[in-house]
Chain A
Amino acid sequence: MNDQDHKGIPRTTPRQSATFSQDVNSDIRRAAATGIYDIRGGGAKRRVPNFDDLLFMGASISRYPLEGYREKCDTKVTLGTRFAKNPIELDIPITIAGMSFGALSGPAKEALGRGASAAGTSTTTGDGGMTPEERGHSTKLVYQYLPSRYGMNPDDLRKADAIEIVVGQGAKPGGGGMLLGQKISDRVAEMRNLPKGIDQRSACRHPDWTGPDDLEIKILELREITGWRVPIYVKIAGARPYFDTTLAVKAGADVVVLDGMQGGTAATQDVFIEHVGQPTLACIRPAVQALQDLGMHREVQLVISGGIRSGADVAKALALGADAVAIGTAALIALGDNDPKWEEEYNKLGTTAGAYDDWHEGRDPAGITTQDPELMKRFNPIEGGRRLKNYLKVMTLEAQTIARACGKNHMHNLEPEDLVALTMEAAAMAQVPLAGTNWYPGKGNF
């Protein structure tokens, strides 16, 4: 392009609009061409205040560290100590979040079970029921109780090590789901009692209860059916964490699972994922406060999910008061999702490794979020399980490294006092001081 116009006057540099960015414009063009909103998988892609905005201070004269590799830093966690006869005891405070058979292939579910079991932790079913391979390969399996009740039956319920009543999901607080027809294989259709090839809607709220008073009775029913043996989790989205945590505890939950907006979904409207819900970081302190106000912190355990990627994230979530975390998207990446080795095929789908999120279409080159038999062959569940185990081990070692540096002999001894924030937003959300100050927004003595 000439840098002068036809009169010889210098041109200004072409300037892209911050409001109408290339991404926005492509969304408008796509909407205009199709007449339908964009559906995709994954969680919020926009940048929101997150764990990267926090730092541990480490030891100093007033805080002495533990010797790495020599002095013990315990990672065990017990979930469901409130009412269940058989709480879940985990070796590490990192669990695998609920992801459905249907959204994921059978071998992928098997790999999650293998990896979690090898690392001494639990995995979780999803919308679509419990598969034998998942149960068989999972030492500890949490059975989700979802609005759709696809595949729900008392036999599987009694095989579960815990039951997770799903009220909300961070990617879509207040939203249901849709498994598109192309992923409905014979087996998926049979498990869900629906014809093959049709879109399967998952309701946004439970069919037989509404509100916290009903939830209390629903929890009673599930406990009676399972003989009060297994913990009952209640999973909530990062919508109103203080009140939802309070109500879940009031209803009788053993464990509250809180999923922030970076938490993934198999398929939801992009506008929903990006514009509804709160960042994970913003949800933890209100939930912990609710537990503390009720005198139930550490009595009812808090599991945090949504954008957990590393041992640093684990340590930060625990320092803010969580008992454990759950990972979903990160686990899929560990299995091989979005691996650059499939770049050529991602390009054919109009995307690139790292950005592929059309999980609902069932054409996943990595063979994980698909029911296509040929694509599924690309994924080895034994190898996938090994990779997940390695990743969980690394996360645990990382978290222990940080905890030792802070002088903690148990991950749960990490505390907000160990943290500072890099931004005002993160300081306000985490309620830890802005680095270099003794103040955070909302705290007095400004």
Chain B
Amino acid sequence: MQVFDLEAEGLRALNETLHAQNAQTNQTSWEIVNAKGSHAIAVGLDAPIEVTVKGSTGYYCGGMNKQATINVHGSAGPGVGENMMSGTIIIEGDASQYAGATGHGGLLVIKGNASSRCGISMKGIDIVVHGNIGHMSAFMAQSGNLVVLGDAGDALGDSCYEARLFVRGTVKSLGADCEKKEMRPEHIEILKDLLERAGADAKPEEFSRYGSARNLYNFDVDNASAY
């Protein structure tokens, strides 16, 4: 276990050190102490390493992550895991706005609640939120899976494309062109796998699936009021 004191050594040194790790590194386990809500912690990683952050993080923790597993023992600020490509990010506490925004792949687990615009414009990422999510989540979500064990706020899945949205609790309202969909066996399988990987104690059958009604895929003036 390598311990990195962020307060003492600074952000640039942290990310430079983590970027220097490659697939053959022996230093596969890192602990970051004194995070103190700093921004851009462990961004742009590209190695199969495990990074544990002691404390809460500021903006964009784990941004554009590839391969690495990042575990935040605290809460995460806006844009955690933004545009991540692969790997796993686990937030033990809550997450602020835009969690997993534009993520292309990998798994983002939020054990608390996530704020508004969770999974905005997601492009293949899997996101599992153990608690609730805020308004406008999965806005323009393109692909991937958003799993919510609690409730969803207003305008879920507004203008979404092919992303699959699974909510166990209530949905305050659906956004434009988002509708409740049939839960078929393949969706149960997807959900079962994601719940297991996210360490979530829930049964797939308890969830409802939402997704695009595909009415706004090609502009039609008769749908103008929906935009």
Question: In the bound complex, what is the Cα–Cα distance between A218 and B63 (angstroms)?
Answer: 10
Output the nearest chain A residue to B19 by Cβ-Cβ distance.
Answer: A227
Name the one of B46, B60, B101, B143 contacting A207, with C-beta atoms under 8 angstroms: B101
Output the nearest chain A residue to B162 by Cβ-Cβ distance.
Answer: A195
Contacts of A207 in B (CB 8 A): 98, 101-102, 117, 120-121, 139-140
- Of the candidate stretches B149-157, B182-190, B198-206, B215-223, the one touching chain A is B215-223
Output the nearest chain A residue to B63 by Cβ-Cβ distance.
Answer: A221
Question: In the bound complex, what is the Cα–Cα distance between A351 and B142 (angstroms)?
Answer: 36
Question: In the bound complex, what is the Cα–Cα distance between A193 and B121 (angstroms)?
Answer: 10
A-B contact list, 27 entries, CB within 8 Å: A36-B221, A36-B224, A149-B83, A152-B83, A152-B102, A153-B64, A154-B46, A154-B64, A154-B66, A178-B219, A181-B217, A193-B123, A194-B162, A199-B219, A201-B140, A203-B121, A207-B98, A208-B78, A209-B78, A217-B58, A217-B60, A220-B39, A220-B40, A221-B40, A221-B60, A221-B63, A224-B15
Size of the B side of the interface (Cβ < 8 Å), in residues, is 43
CB distance from A267 to the nearest CB of B (A): 11
Question: In the bound complex, what is the Cα–Cα distance between A193 and B224 (angstroms)?
Answer: 25
Contacts of B74 in A (CB 8 A): none
Contacts of A201 in B (CB 8 A): 140, 159
Count chain B CB atoms within 10 A of each CB in A152, A197, A208 and give the residue with the most: A208
- Contact (Cβ within 8 A) A154 B11: no
Output the nearest chain B residue to A36 by Cβ-Cβ distance.
Answer: B221
Contacts of A148 in B (CB 8 A): 121
Contacts of A194 in B (CB 8 A): 142-143, 161-162
Contacts of A228 in B (CB 8 A): 12
How many A-B contacts at CB < 8 Å in the complex? Answer: 104
Residues of A at the B interface (CB closer than 8 Å) are: 34-36, 148-149, 152-154, 157, 178, 180-181, 192-195, 197-199, 201, 203, 207-209, 214, 217-218, 220-221, 224-228
Chain B 49-68 interface 0/1 with A at a Cβ cutoff of 8 Å (1 = within): 00000000011100110100
Question: In the bound complex, what is the Cα–Cα distance between A154 and B62 (angstroms)?
Answer: 12
Name the one of B16, B44, B85, B98 contacting A208, with C-beta atoms under 8 angstroms: B98
Contacts of A209 in B (CB 8 A): 59, 78-79
Question: In the bound complex, what is the Cα–Cα distance between A319 and B48 (angstroms)?
Answer: 52
Contacts of A221 in B (CB 8 A): 39-40, 43, 59-60, 63
Question: In the bound complex, what is the Cα–Cα distance between A208 and B117 (angstroms)?
Answer: 9
Chain B 124-139 interface 0/1 with A at a Cβ cutoff of 8 Å (1 = within): 1000000000000001
Name the one of A35, A180, A208, A226 contacting B82, with C-beta atoms under 8 angstroms: A208
Count chain A CB atoms within 10 A of each CB in B79, B124, B143 and give the residue with the most: B79
4 nearest CB pairs, A to B: A225-B44, A208-B79, A208-B98, A198-B217
- Contact (Cβ within 8 A) B12 A149: no
The SS class assigned to the A binding surface is: loop
Contacts of A180 in B (CB 8 A): 219
- Contact (Cβ within 8 A) B39 A208: no
- Contact (Cβ within 8 A) B64 A157: yes
- Contact (Cβ within 8 A) B121 A218: no
Count chain B CB atoms within 10 A of each CB in A36, A148, A225, A227 and give the residue with the most: A225
Name the one of B44, B58, B85 contacting A224, with C-beta atoms under 8 angstroms: B44
Question: In the bound complex, what is the Cα–Cα distance between A149 and B58 (angstroms)?
Answer: 21
Question: In the bound complex, what is the Cα–Cα distance between A193 and B101 (angstroms)?
Answer: 14
Contacts of B43 in A (CB 8 A): 221, 224-225
B104 at the interface (CB under 8 A from A): yes
Question: In the bound complex, what is the Cα–Cα distance between A16 and B159 (angstroms)?
Answer: 45
- Contact (Cβ within 8 A) B83 A203: no
Contacts of B82 in A (CB 8 A): 208
Contacts of A193 in B (CB 8 A): 104, 123-124, 142-143
Extra 12 A-B pairs, beta carbons < 8 Å, given A34-B221, A195-B217, A207-B140: A36-B224, A148-B121, A192-B142, A193-B142, A198-B161, A207-B101, A208-B79, A209-B59, A217-B39, A220-B39, A221-B59, A221-B60
Output the nearest chain A residue to B41 by Cβ-Cβ distance.
Answer: A224
Output the nearest chain A residue to B66 by Cβ-Cβ distance.
Answer: A154
Name the one of B44, B117, B123 contacting A154, with C-beta atoms under 8 angstroms: B44
Output the nearest chain A residue to B44 by Cβ-Cβ distance.
Answer: A225
Contacts of B79 in A (CB 8 A): 208-209
- Contact (Cβ within 8 A) B217 A217: no
Question: In the bound complex, what is the Cα–Cα distance between A181 and B101 (angstroms)?
Answer: 24
- Contact (Cβ within 8 A) B102 A149: yes
CB proximity to A under 8 Å, residues B145-193: 159, 161-162
Output the nearest chain A residue to B124 by Cβ-Cβ distance.
Answer: A193
- Contact (Cβ within 8 A) A225 B123: no
CB distance from A38 to the nearest CB of B (A): 12
Question: In the bound complex, what is the Cα–Cα distance between A152 and B83 (angstroms)?
Answer: 8
CB distance from A207 to the nearest CB of B (A): 4
Chain B 73-108 interface 0/1 with A at a Cβ cutoff of 8 Å (1 = within): 000001100110100000000000110011010000
Question: In the bound complex, what is the Cα–Cα distance between A197 and B39 (angstroms)?
Answer: 39
Contacts of B85 in A (CB 8 A): 153-154
Contacts of B97 in A (CB 8 A): 208
- Contact (Cβ within 8 A) B140 A203: yes
Contacts of A197 in B (CB 8 A): 218
Contacts of A217 in B (CB 8 A): 39-40, 58-60
Question: In the bound complex, what is the Cα–Cα distance between A207 and B46 (angstroms)?
Answer: 23
Contacts of A157 in B (CB 8 A): 64
CB distance from B135 to the nearest CB of A (A): 14
Name the one of A35, A152, A181, A227 contacting B221, with C-beta atoms under 8 angstroms: A35
CB distance from A358 to the nearest CB of B (A): 15
